[in-house]
Chain A
Amino acid sequence: MIDKPIVDQLDQVFILLERWIVSFLPAGWQAVASVVLNVVAIIAVFPALFAIAVLLERKGLGRMQNRLGPNRVGPFGLFQPIADGLKSLTKEDIVPISADPVVHFLAPVFLVVVVFMGYAVLPMGRNMTLVKMDAGLLFYFAMGASTELSVFMAGWSSRNKYSLLGAMRAVAQMISYEVPLLMSSVAVVMITGSLSLEKIVAAQNQYSYGLPHWYIFTPWGFAGFALFAVAATAETNRSPFDLPEGESELVAGYFTEYSGFKFAEFFLGEYVGMLSISGLGATLFLGGWSAPLAILGWVPSWIWFFGKVMLSICVFIWLRGTLPRLRQDQLMNFAWKFVLPLTLLNLMVAAMWRFLGEGWERWVICSAVLLIAYVAMGRIGMRHGHIGTRKYRYAE
């Protein structure tokens, strides 16, 4: 076993570093400087992860589609993100002549600001939360809901029919899937008894027989995580729910009329949003920064958090390489007729889990209820589902 003080120091290395830097400043400045340092760290780390995620996506998708992906800049194409960044910085910024200039300018700025705000409450390691809020989860969702406005602003201000169609699709989709996203998280809040993300992680950071008490290892938690993952994929406009920016139909959806650095801001906002919602999913269901086995407790907590986030990104990429895009009516039917009823049932199941006591009965009953509901709803949905050509109500 490794020496205990060294393990603790590695675990808290960023906190110690921050204190060391702050200690050079006069006492009156230290509180402000510490906040500024934390914010700078977040603004520096996540765009770096964004660059890694983009490279991973391009290489990974390339392999899945039986091609090489970027391989010209640097060894194995590793410096491709730097080249992309420089390219977007040096490109001309074109604003359409009929566009609304103020709103057109504000939309990408607003998106990036709001997306970064969400990180304020995510616990990224032991003692590594920027703001310890009592209502942290609510804050996160309040910020997440505000991104819809940016999408609308971008689509409307461009004065382009593809932009507007993309924005309408995006807003409709984000509103629809926000409900299951919130509802599946409410189950976690019910069991923990707190909206504070710190407390949610602390409740999962316990071990029995060397195995963790993560919520995903309970029937309601597993169902909740699956529903959360579906809703999160739709919320971040990722394939198979990428209708708002379906290239084959809408060019690039709501950011068709953006070029240069503004386009890069949308790209950044989308990927940083993906990283952020992965972090939230890991915090709610996968134990946040806690280790997957009790004997692995010596590995620094932040490694686990960022590891879980990057693992979710890999799953996002895998899904994009595997699944075809849904149709708009399928997307809406899936949200309102399958995902939402299951999340509501999951709330009931979580309440049952809470009040059925500690025995083995609750495992059997809760699993059975969820499994039966899943199979029955799937069967009924498929029986009435019209697989085949779509019937148009207005277009014929």
Chain B
Amino acid sequence: MSIVFYIVAALAVGGALAAVLLKNTVHCALALTIAFAGIALLFLQLDAQFAGFAQILVYIGAVAILVVFAILLTRGSETPKDGVYGRKWPLGLVIAAAVFSDLAWAVLQSARVLPHEAISAPTVTVLQIGNALIGRYVLPLEIIALLLTAALIGAVIVAMHEKEAGK
């Protein structure tokens, strides 16, 4: 664990905490972007160039923009007077803790299954990722493509419906 890892991890965790704790919704969205950037840097620190850049391109370039756009279009950037927390936040905390412990357990188990010496950082090129996506993992890829197409058509139908109702 190098010092770079701790800096990047602090950035990601700090961004995520700020996204939850800040009052202004747009500030939360921008803090979430910092968390996304931290995760992308973690990927890059692990020499996973493709995953890191795809993370920046998709999450910062598209998801974060869509989040702020949604906030602006729904006029939700004004802070509500009675705080942003619902009454059931302890339940959310329990679920989050359960998911975290499950993931942490899985990660810790993997260290026992794979001996430490056998792990050497593989050098994966973009070409290999492409071949794997089209070869071995083509079925999941196609399923995701189908899902996204369905979502796209759904979005178009929602937008069209509004137009006809307006006439």
Residues in B whose Cβ lies below 8 Å from that of A194: 126-127
A142 touching B53, Cβ below 8 Å: yes
A171 touching B69, Cβ below 8 Å: yes
B53 touching A139, Cβ below 8 Å: yes
- The total of Cβ contacts below 8 Å across the A-B interface reads 69
A371 at the interface (CB under 8 A from B): no
Q: Looking across the interface, which residue of chain B has its beta carbon closest to that of A157?
A: B26
Contacts of B54-86 to chain A: CB distance below 8 A: 54, 56-57, 60-62, 64-65, 68-69, 72, 77
B90 at the interface (CB under 8 A from A): no
Q: Which of A134, A139, A145, A156 contacts B72 (CB 8 A)?
A: A156
Interface-central residue, A135, A143, A175, A394, by most chain B CB under 10 Å = A135
B163 at the interface (CB under 8 A from A): yes
Residues in A whose Cβ lies below 8 Å from that of B127: 193-194
Q: Would you give the shortest CB distance from A169 to chain B, in whole angstroms? A: 12
Question: Considering only CB atoms and an 8 Å cut-off, how many residues of chain B contact the other chain?
Answer: 24
Query: CB-CB contacts of A107-145 with B at 8 A, as 1s and 0s?
Result: 000000000000000000000000001110011011111
Considering the chains assembled together, what is the distance between the CA atoms of A135 and B60 in angstroms? 18
A149 touching B64, Cβ below 8 Å: yes
Considering the chains assembled together, what is the distance between the CA atoms of A103 and B166 in angstroms? 37
Q: Looking across the interface, which residue of chain B has its beta carbon closest to that of A195?
A: B126
Given known contacts A149-B33, A168-B72, A171-B69, is B125 in contact with A134 (CB within 8 Å)? yes
Question: Considering only CB atoms and an 8 Å cut-off, how many residues of chain A contact the other chain?
Answer: 27
A153 touching B30, Cβ below 8 Å: yes
Residues in A whose Cβ lies below 8 Å from that of B30: 103, 149, 153
A146 touching B60, Cβ below 8 Å: yes
A152 touching B68, Cβ below 8 Å: yes
B53 touching A135, Cβ below 8 Å: yes
Residues in B whose Cβ lies below 8 Å from that of A148: 61, 65
A145 touching B60, Cβ below 8 Å: yes
Considering the chains assembled together, what is the distance between the CA atoms of A133 and B61 in angstroms? 20
Residues in B whose Cβ lies below 8 Å from that of A153: 30
B100 at the interface (CB under 8 A from A): no
Query: CB-CB contacts of A155-186 with B at 8 A, as 1s and 0s?
Result: 01000000010001001000100100000000
A386 at the interface (CB under 8 A from B): no
Q: Looking across the interface, which residue of chain A has its beta carbon closest to that of B61?
A: A145
A178 touching B49, Cβ below 8 Å: no
Considering the chains assembled together, what is the distance between the CA atoms of A141 and B58 in angstroms? 10
B50 at the interface (CB under 8 A from A): yes
Q: Which of B26, B33, B61, B77 contacts A142 (CB 8 A)?
A: B61
A135 touching B126, Cβ below 8 Å: yes
Q: Which of B27, B50, B57, B68 contacts A145 (CB 8 A)?
A: B57
Q: Which of B57, B64, B125 contacts A138 (CB 8 A)?
A: B57
Contacts of B118-144 to chain A: CB distance below 8 A: 125-127
A393 at the interface (CB under 8 A from B): yes
Residues in A whose Cβ lies below 8 Å from that of B166: 393-394
Considering the chains assembled together, what is the distance between the CA atoms of A394 and B64 in angstroms? 28
Q: Would you give the shortest CB distance from B18 to chain A, in whole angstroms? A: 12
Given known contacts A103-B30, A152-B65, A156-B26, is B49 in contact with A142 (CB within 8 Å)? no
Q: Would you give the shortest CB distance from A171 to chain B, in whole angstroms? A: 6
Considering the chains assembled together, what is the distance between the CA atoms of A394 and B166 in angstroms? 9
Considering the chains assembled together, what is the distance between the CA atoms of A134 and B127 in angstroms? 9
Contacts of B9-66 to chain A: CB distance below 8 A: 26-27, 30, 33, 49-50, 53-54, 56-57, 60-62, 64-65
B126 touching A171, Cβ below 8 Å: no
Q: Would you give the shortest CB distance from B155 to chain A, in whole angstroms? A: 13
Residues in B whose Cβ lies below 8 Å from that of A394: 166
Residues in A whose Cβ lies below 8 Å from that of B56: 142-143, 145-146
Q: Looking across the interface, which residue of chain A has its beta carbon closest to that of B33?
A: A149
Query: CB-CB contacts of A190-234 with B at 8 A, as 1s and 0s?
Result: 000111000000000000000000000000000000000000000
Considering the chains assembled together, what is the distance between the CA atoms of A164 and B73 in angstroms? 11
Q: Would you give the shortest CB distance from A378 to chain B, in whole angstroms? A: 23
Residues in A whose Cβ lies below 8 Å from that of B53: 135, 138-139, 141-142
Q: What are 20 A-B contacts defined by CB distance under 8 Å?
A: A103-B26, A103-B27, A134-B126, A135-B126, A138-B50, A138-B126, A139-B49, A141-B61, A142-B57, A146-B60, A148-B65, A149-B30, A149-B61, A152-B68, A171-B69, A193-B127, A195-B126, A393-B163, A393-B166, A394-B166
- 15 additional contacts (CB under 8 A) given A134-B125, A139-B53: A133-B49, A135-B49, A135-B50, A138-B50, A138-B57, A139-B49, A141-B53, A142-B57, A148-B61, A148-B65, A149-B33, A149-B60, A393-B163, A393-B166, A394-B166
- The 7 tightest CB contacts between A and B, nearest first, are A145-B61, A142-B56, A138-B53, A142-B57, A142-B53, A135-B49, A195-B126
